[in-house]
Amino acid sequence: MKRIIPFLLLSLGIGSSFLITGCKNKSSVEEGSLTAVDNSVKTGVVRELNSSTDIGDVYNSIGVDYENEYDVDSIEKKMTGLAMANAGTDSADGLTKHLIVAPTEMDMELLFDVDTSAIFLEGGIYTNVSQFAVWSSENPDIADVYQGEVHAKKVGETNINVTYRDITKSIHVNVVEKTNWEEKDGYWYYYDANGKKTTGWKVIDGNWYYLSNNGSMLTGWQKIKDGYYYFHSNGTMAQGEWVQNPDNSQWYYFNYNGKMAMRKWIKDGNNTYYVHSNGTMATNEWVPKDDGSWYYMLLDGKMARDRSIDIKGVSYQFDKEGKCLNPDGN
């Protein structure tokens, strides 16, 4: 059985999201490649990773090709280059580095698999490094791990450790026969291995839940500290998905870290959307970018691209990237 935290391969936040690609392993340097690659590079490493100034863009994101050999060193040089550019420095020595693991604690049922994430923060740039960080289990008989995917083998508790660039973080894993949910007076509660009600954030079988101060499972729209979240009727947190508010029929996007996106460009498959500062999806309206270019969001929220549109009697042309070529209407 396999249950994972939901994910889609998206690159969120136009202008703040980057695709880092490694060089294919060859014995000589190709024109345009970043680094020379020797034969010591191991098979099945990583071809590309997603980086962003927003951690929600890279949480549970993937972009890996295991079919060929690729140079991790070149990927890391690109990561540092982006971090230096973002931090406005000419040297990597002063860049602050952090390793973030999510979640740090979770319960999972026996024989289930759960994907976790290792995210490296350098100079304000987040990169999901789960595919080539070093993962290990303190007790592989209870749960083992491969590139962030944890497999529960036996009831018990253990720690999963992940190391990247000499920084190590841990995830505490509690493997149980069956998740301990109990319904009472129309509300659901979760009990830990000691029979105690759980409160606050909880990851169970790879899904995020939030239990109120009295232990009851929250559903629907919720404001938690400084963020807005949505929990489905079964209590699972919305991640990387659109949710429509029945009260106003407006659509909202929730990042992979669960927070509602605000004032942000959203790339969803082949389509691009925009959400305002209040989180509502832009529809049937013009949206500018910081560089002064203009874009038009159609009635369904999709960005107009590679077409002409008559708006209030004026014909506007849009290129393949959605940029309006004649914003003054001429």
Q: Count of H helices and E strands in the chain? A: 2, 26
Rounded alpha-carbon distances, angstroms, from residue 211 to 57, 70, 104, 106: 25, 43, 17, 14
Locate 155 and state its tokens: 């009831």
What pLDDT, on a 0 to 100 scale, did the predictor assign at position 156?
Answer: 95
For the CA atoms of the chain, what is the radius of gyration?
22
Q: Is 254 exposed, middle or buried (0-12, 13-18, 19+ CB in 10 A)?
A: buried
Residues composing the chain: 330
Residue 302 CB-half CA count within 13 A: 9
Pairing of strands 167-176, 105-109: parallel
Rounded to an integer, the average pLDDT of 231-245 is 96
Q: What span, in angstroms and rounded, lies between the C-alpha atoms of 281 and 301?
A: 7
Q: What span, in angstroms and rounded, lies between the C-alpha atoms of 221 and 271?
A: 26
Locate 268 and state its tokens: 């969803």
Strand, helix or coil at 254?
strand
**pLDDT tens by residue, 239-298:** 999 999 999 999 999 998 999 999 999 988 889 999 999 999 999 999 999 999 999 999
pLDDT band of residue 72 (cuts 50, 70, 90) is confident
> What count of other Cβ atoms lies within 10 Å of the Cβ of residue 125?
25
Q: What is the DSSP letter of 216?
A: B
**pLDDT tens by residue, 188-201:** 999 987 889 999 99
Locate 173 and state its tokens: 């894993």
Q: What span, in angstroms and rounded, lies between the C-alpha atoms of 152 and 156?
A: 9
Q: What span, in angstroms and rounded, lies between the C-alpha atoms of 283 and 233?
A: 27
Locate 124 and state its tokens: 């304000």
What pLDDT, on a 0 to 100 scale, did the predictor assign at position 59?
Answer: 79
Residue 93: partners with Cβ closer than 8 Å, 6 or more residues away: none
For tokens 């239990």, the residue is: 211
Q: Is the dihedral of CA 98, 101, 103, 107 positive or negative?
A: negative
Rounded to an integer, the average pLDDT of 84-108 is 93
What pLDDT, on a 0 to 100 scale, did the predictor assign at position 132?
Answer: 82
> 261, 275 in Cβ contact below 8 A?
yes
What pLDDT, on a 0 to 100 scale, did the predictor assign at position 47?
Answer: 62
What pLDDT, on a 0 to 100 scale, did the predictor assign at position 57?
Answer: 81
Write the DSSP string, 260-319.
BP-SEEEEETTEEEEE-TTSBBP-SEEEE-TTS-EEEE-TTSPBP-SEEEEETTEEEEE-
**pLDDT tens by residue, 115-160:** 999 999 999 999 999 988 999 999 999 999 998 999 999 999 999 9
**pLDDT tens by residue, 3-35:** 333 332 223 333 366 767 655 433 332 222 222
Locate 293 and state its tokens: 């270019």
Q: Is the dihedral of CA 208, 212, 217, 219 positive or negative?
A: negative
> 300, 278 in Cβ contact below 8 A?
no
- Domains within the chain, CATH numbers bracketed: 70-178 (2.60.40.1080)
